[in-house]
């Protein structure tokens, strides 16, 4: 009988540990349309970043955008997902073209765990006027700040060299970023 009690106690402790691990880490995040807007906030003393961090974060966001932004086979499909005038044509490796959303800003947050530094993500517009990361985290604006799940900064898979999404692909996903995506209500 005593063995069973010990097993139950260990099982309950394990369950408590798993449940406590489910609480997501949050970071203070800010969104900006460009590096200049980030640097203006730094100059006002309202950010824990430096002007150099703003430049580096925006450069990283640009590189990540080029590597991970969704690619579509037609301008109409891209604009359906990101709004009219928010897409550009890109050459595909090996020939041909695809369409991808324009970079509309960056999301920047502090690294967790006392490591210092920052994390960044590119933002593109959605058809409903919000903004989204390549991984599907949506934010209300590209000029706001607030707490955000650290998972919003997980890098999305590369789309370079992958077949562009068709209308059917976008519909299956329920729209860009809709399928299993993290959400945020971070505002201005």
Q: What is the pLDDT of residues 29-69, one digit of tens each?
A: 999 999 999 999 999 988 888 999 999 999 999 999 999 99
Mean per-residue pLDDT for 163-179?
A: 75
- How far apart, in Å, are the Cα atoms of 139 and each of 79, 121, 148, 167, 182? 19, 12, 10, 24, 10
Q: Quick one: pLDDT at residue 110? A: 83
pLDDT for residue 16: 36
pLDDT tens-digit readout, 83-105: 999 999 998 878 889 999 999 99
Higher pLDDT, 58 or 13: 58
Residue 187 gets which letter from DSSP? Answer: -
Whether pLDDT at 17 is above 70: no
The predicted model gives 131-144 an average pLDDT of 91
pLDDT of residue 24: 60
Summarised one tens digit per residue, pLDDT across range 108-135 is 988 766 556 789 999 999 999 999 999 9
Would you state the torsion angle of the CA atoms of residues 27, 110, 105, 38, taken in this order, to the nearest 10 degrees? 120
Q: Please give the Cα distance from 154 to 121 (Å, whole number).
A: 8
Between CA 66 and CA 63 the distance in angstroms is 5
Tokens matching residue 66? 């080029």
What is the sign of the dihedral through the CA atoms of 56, 61, 62 and 64? Answer: positive
173 vs 22, higher pLDDT? 173
CA pair distance 45, 13, nearest whole angstrom: 45
| Portion of the chain with pLDDT greater than 90, in percent | 54
The predicted model scores a pTM of 0.78
Q: What is the dihedral of CA 160, 58, 150, 153, to 10 degrees?
A: 0
Query: What pLDDT was estimated at residue 117?
Result: 79
């Amino acid at each position: 009988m005593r063995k069973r009690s010990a097993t139950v106690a260990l099982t309950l402790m394990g369950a408590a540990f798993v449940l406590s691990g489910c609480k997501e880490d949050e970071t203070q995040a800010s969104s900006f349309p460009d590096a200049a807007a980030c640097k203006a906030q730094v100059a006002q003393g309202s950010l824990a970043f430096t002007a150099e961090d703003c430049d580096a974060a925006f450069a990283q966001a640009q590189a990540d955008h080029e590597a991970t932004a969704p690619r579509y086979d037609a301008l109409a499909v891209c604009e359906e997902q990101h709004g009219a005038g928010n897409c550009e044509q890109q050459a595909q490796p090996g020939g041909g073209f695809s369409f991808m959303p324009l970079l509309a800003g960056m999301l920047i947050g502090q690294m967790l765990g006392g490591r210092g530094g920052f994390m960044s993500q590119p933002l593109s517009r959605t058809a409903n006027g919000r903004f989204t990361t390549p991984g599907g985290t949506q934010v209300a604006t590209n000029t706001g700040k607030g707490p955000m799940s650290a998972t919003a900064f997980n890098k999305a898979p590369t789309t370079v060299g992958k077949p562009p999404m068709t209308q059917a692909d976008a519909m299956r996903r329920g729209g860009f970023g809709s399928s299993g995506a993290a959400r945020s209500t971070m505002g201005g």
